[in-house]
Amino acid sequence: MKQPKFNAEQITALLENKHVTKCSTKAITYAKAFKVLAVQQYAEGMTATQIFRAAGLPPELVGEHTAKSQLKIWRNTFRLCGEAGLLTEMRGQATGSRRGRPKTSDMTDADRIKRLEIEVAYLKAKNDFLVKLRAQRKS
């Protein structure tokens, strides 16, 4: 099993920071106002590491690449949804991500049939490929 990212001492230190709302052994939840401030400071020319250090969140504590990756996510959300996107919970909504299985519940019968025909064609091609691969291995 993977080691926890933060120990009890680190969690306590993080929770004392006004820019952190929650912290577990695996993740930090940053204050919404901090996200907006960080994006503004980045636009003014500060680097991600400088922003996090100034907020009392050094890379040694939060993680070496955390500042850069978090700021990239926040900047993308800001670009797509503005400041409101950072002030509301929008995980995976308006940021252009398309995770998970495609929805099929609202498909018409014709769409469902077309989708299944494509799936059958794919599986037939996959089976043909595997048959050829097994034949090559035997020879």
Instruction: List pLDDT tens digits, range 92-135.
Output: 555 555 566 767 778 889 999 999 999 999 999 999 999 999 99
pTM score of the predicted model: 0.63
Same domain, 72 and 138: no
Instruction: List pLDDT tens digits, range 32-85.
Output: 999 999 999 999 999 999 999 999 999 888 888 889 999 999 999 898 888 888
Same domain, 67 and 117: no
Q: Which residue range(s) make up the domain with 138?
A: 103-139
Same domain, 112 and 74: no
Instruction: Write out the two tokens for 34.
Output: 């901090």
Residue 131 belongs to some domain of the structure: yes
Same domain, 77 and 126: no
CB 30 within 8 A of CB 86: no
Residue 61 belongs to some domain of the structure: yes
Burial of 98 (0-12, 13-18, 19+ CB in 10 A): exposed
Domain count, the chain: 2
